[in-house]
């Protein structure tokens, strides 16, 4: 990549000296390599500098001059944003001025009488190179809009800070603009940019001396000395911003000394995400409770393989009853996994399933559950001479597994089951992303004879249009609807609508979470086909579930008599 300061463009150098002879000497030395401008006093120089401020690469400045002295000129240049970055080399016979001028912002010092030509040229060249390098670094380490550090540089400055100040207590702050995309859309890009600039300015003011960065458009990171509270800071910043703009803040304080800064910022962000939809709370602190939860989650992930090897995962069964006849009839069961952890005891899937869905372990676990259920069914068939279909949960990730169809086919073949005996529950939300791909996969499974129940229906935001295309055999009404319907004065409209959709599609309805007789009777009245819930039974282990099978056998025998 070409770097602009190494190109062959001739740079301009301004020589300021009241003695003509000195100007001529320097011009003679420099003009082979540079465009040389000359000024005989400070005032004249100032005019030339202002006119050429964008092209001047170096100023050689005599200190003692009439009209405007070199020191005064230097002061003016360094105070003006437009000229402060032009490098200045001071020339004087007075060695004592050297330190003073360097303090004022001069970059180098050439004594008078002049040293050899080569020394002067070398100093000029080196100064120009250094200042151009510095400009490039400034550009790459800063966000052009706000002038804050970009992430990479921010990160290394934080690391560096910790290295040199290991005793300092530092807080990691993650600020995010609420609904920034909406601000962008509604009020336009330049308004939104202005908001970001205002935020960065108020952060600079509130956190003088801290390391600050902007990231991913609307997030700001601040690495600062520990404070007990950030309420006041948030108020101050809010006062500075338009009413329609608000910020939320995640704080990871210094309670874990050995955490590096990048990890602290991960946690600060995690905390901020907790108040994402909470209009009343603007600040969230990553606390030791969250840390405990994180450690617990990590522990479960680490224990997964051992747990699987040591049979800590148990498959339980919850019966489902067909209620279309006079008496409820056991029609199938749902296989639900439990983790009987060697230290923690029984852990509910509500705790570990979401975790395993995040990191992909769910595929291994699901395969294990399906296999266990299939083998159990085989055993029941052989020993009890009865077969009741069992439904297993198929996670969204499973549907992307290219081996899914083969795994399921192998599994039923090995257990001597037919495809209709293993029902597949697929949650509605799995259909909403990559709908076409998922629909194809499900069609393939149905072709092989598997029956599909759409789980948690009503929670996945699929459109009616999409629902009508879905290849399914039953709809499971999410238990939230069952619960809500009977809390709010028997308002069963949602359930009625779902049953209507299912009828229209020609598929069965299954209601889950049925806990009492009122719910059961109402669902029966509405035309629901199958129910599952604590009213009949909680999920039970395989041995206990056998009782349901035995009862069913008895009633079948009675029928035959």
CB nearer Ca ion, residue 143 or residue 334: 334
* Beta-strand pair 108-111/211-215: unpaired
List of residues contacting ligand C2E (CB under 6 A) = 318, 336-337, 348-350, 353, 362, 366, 369, 393, 395, 455-456, 479, 512-515, 532-534, 539
Q: How far is the CB of 459 from Ca ion (least distance, A)?
A: 9
* Beta-strand pair 56-62/35-39: unpaired
455 lies in the binding site for Ca ion (CB under 5 A) = yes
CB nearer Ca ion, residue 200 or residue 395: 395
Distance CA 498, CA 527 (A): 11
* Beta-strand pair 247-252/219-225: unpaired
CB 48 within 8 A of CB 23: no
CB nearer ligand C2E, residue 16 or residue 353: 353
Task: Work out what residue 348 binds among Ca ion, ligand C2E, none; the CB cut-off runs from 5 to 8 Å by kind.
Answer: ligand C2E
Distance CA 201, CA 189 (A): 18
Residues 6+ apart with CB under 8 A from 527: 499, 503, 509
CB nearer ligand C2E, residue 253 or residue 532: 532
Distances from the Cα of 427 to the Cα of 273, 431, 461, 470, angstroms:
25, 8, 11, 12
Q: In the structure encoding, which two tokens stand for residue 477, read together?
A: 């009404």
Which of 456, 482, 509, 529 forms a contact with Ca ion (CB under 5 A)? 456
Task: Work out what residue 515 binds among ligand C2E, Ca ion, none; the CB cut-off runs from 5 to 8 Å by kind.
Answer: ligand C2E
> Which positions from 401 to 440 touch Ca ion by CB under 5 A, shown as an x/- string?
------------------------x---------------
Q: How far is the CB of 533 from Ca ion (least distance, A)?
A: 11
Biggest CA-to-CA distance, the chain: 130
Task: Work out what residue 492 binds among Ca ion, ligand C2E, none; the CB cut-off runs from 5 to 8 Å by kind.
Answer: none
Q: Element (H or E) spanning 90, and its range?
A: strand 88-92
First to last CA, the chain: 91
Q: In the structure encoding, which two tokens stand for residue 173, read together?
A: 């702050």
Residues 6+ apart with CB under 8 A from 272: 174, 175, 176, 248, 249, 250, 284
Task: Work out what residue 539 binds among ligand C2E, Ca ion, none; the CB cut-off runs from 5 to 8 Å by kind.
Answer: ligand C2E
CB nearer ligand C2E, residue 89 or residue 337: 337
540 DSSP 8-state letter? B
Task: Work out what residue 362 binds among Ca ion, ligand C2E, none; the CB cut-off runs from 5 to 8 Å by kind.
Answer: ligand C2E
Q: Count the residues of the shown chain that bind Ca ion, applying the rule CB under 5 A.
A: 4
Task: Work out what residue 366 binds among ligand C2E, Ca ion, none; the CB cut-off runs from 5 to 8 Å by kind.
Answer: ligand C2E
Q: How far is the CB of 197 from Ca ion (least distance, A)?
A: 48
CB-closest chain residue to ligand C2E: 533
Binding site for Ca ion (CB under 5 A): 393, 425, 455-456
């Amino acid at each position: 990549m070409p770097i602009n300061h190494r190109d062959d463009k001739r740079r301009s150098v301004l020589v300021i000296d009241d003695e003509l002879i000195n100007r001529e000497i320097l011009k003679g030395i420099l003009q082979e390599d540079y465009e040389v401008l000359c000024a005989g006093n400070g005032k004249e120089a100032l005019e030339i500098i202002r006119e050429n401020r964008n092209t001047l690469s170096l100023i050689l400045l005599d200190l003692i001059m009439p009209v405007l002295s070199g020191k005064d000129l230097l002061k003016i240049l360094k105070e003006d944003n437009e000229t402060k970055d032009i490098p200045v080399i001071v020339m004087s016979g007075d060695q004592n001025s050297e330190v003073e001028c360097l303090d004022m912002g001069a970059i180098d010092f050439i004594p008078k009488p002049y040293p050899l030509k080569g020394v002067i040229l070398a100093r000029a060249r080196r100064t120009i190179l250094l200042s151009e390098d510095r400009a490039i670094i400034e550009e790459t380490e800063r966000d052009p809009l706000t002038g804050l550090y970009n992430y990479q540089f921010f990160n290394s400055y934080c690391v560096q800070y910790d290295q040199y100040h290991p005793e300092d207590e530092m807080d990691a702050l993650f600020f995010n603009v609420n609904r920034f995309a909406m601000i962008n859309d509604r009020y336009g890009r330049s308004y939104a940019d202005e908001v970001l600039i205002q935020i960065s300015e108020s952060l600079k003011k509130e956190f003088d001396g801290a390391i600050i960065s902007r990231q991913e458009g609307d997030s700001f990171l601040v690495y600062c000395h520990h404070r007990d509270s950030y309420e006041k800071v948030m108020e101050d910043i809010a006062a500075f911003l338009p009413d329609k703009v608000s910020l939320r803040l995640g704080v990871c304080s210094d309670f874990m000394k050995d955490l590096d800064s990048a990890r602290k910022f991960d946690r600060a962000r995690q905390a901020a995400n907790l108040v994402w939809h909470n209009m009343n709370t603007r600040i969230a602190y990553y606390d030791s409770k969250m840390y405990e939860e994180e450690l617990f989650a990590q522990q479960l992930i680490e224990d997964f393989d051992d747990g699987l090897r040591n049979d800590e995962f148990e498959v339980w069964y919850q019966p489902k009853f067909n209620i279309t006849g006079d008496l409820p009839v056991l029609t199938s069961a749902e296989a639900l996994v439990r983790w009987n952890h060697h230290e923690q005891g029984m852990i509910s899937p509500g705790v570990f399933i979401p975790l395993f869905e995040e990191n992909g372990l769910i595929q291994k676990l699901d395969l294990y559950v399906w296999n266990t259920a299939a083998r159990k069914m085989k055993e029941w068939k052989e020993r009890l001479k009865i077969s009741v279909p069992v439904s297993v949960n198929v996670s969204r990730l499973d549907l992307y597994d290219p081996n899914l169809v083969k795994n399921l086919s192998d599994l039923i073949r090995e257990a001597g089951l037919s495809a209709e005996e293993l029902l597949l529950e697929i949650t509605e939300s799995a259909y909403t992303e990559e709908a076409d791909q998922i629909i194809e996969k499900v069609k393939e499974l149905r072709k092989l004879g598997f029956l599909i129940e759409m789980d948690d229906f009503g929670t996945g935001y699929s459109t009616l249009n999409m629902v009508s295309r879905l290849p399914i055999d039953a709809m499971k009404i999410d238990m939230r609807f069952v619960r809500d319907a009977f809390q709010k004065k028997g308002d069963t409209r949602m359930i009625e609508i779902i049953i209507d959709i299912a009828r229209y599609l020609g598929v069965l309805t299954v209601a889950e979470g049925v806990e009492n007789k009122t719910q059961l009777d109402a669902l029966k009245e509405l035309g629901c086909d199958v129910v599952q819930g604590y009213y009949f039974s909680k999920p039970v282990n395989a041995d206990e579930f056998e009782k349901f099978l035995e009862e069913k056998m008895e009633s079948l025998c009675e029928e035959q008599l």
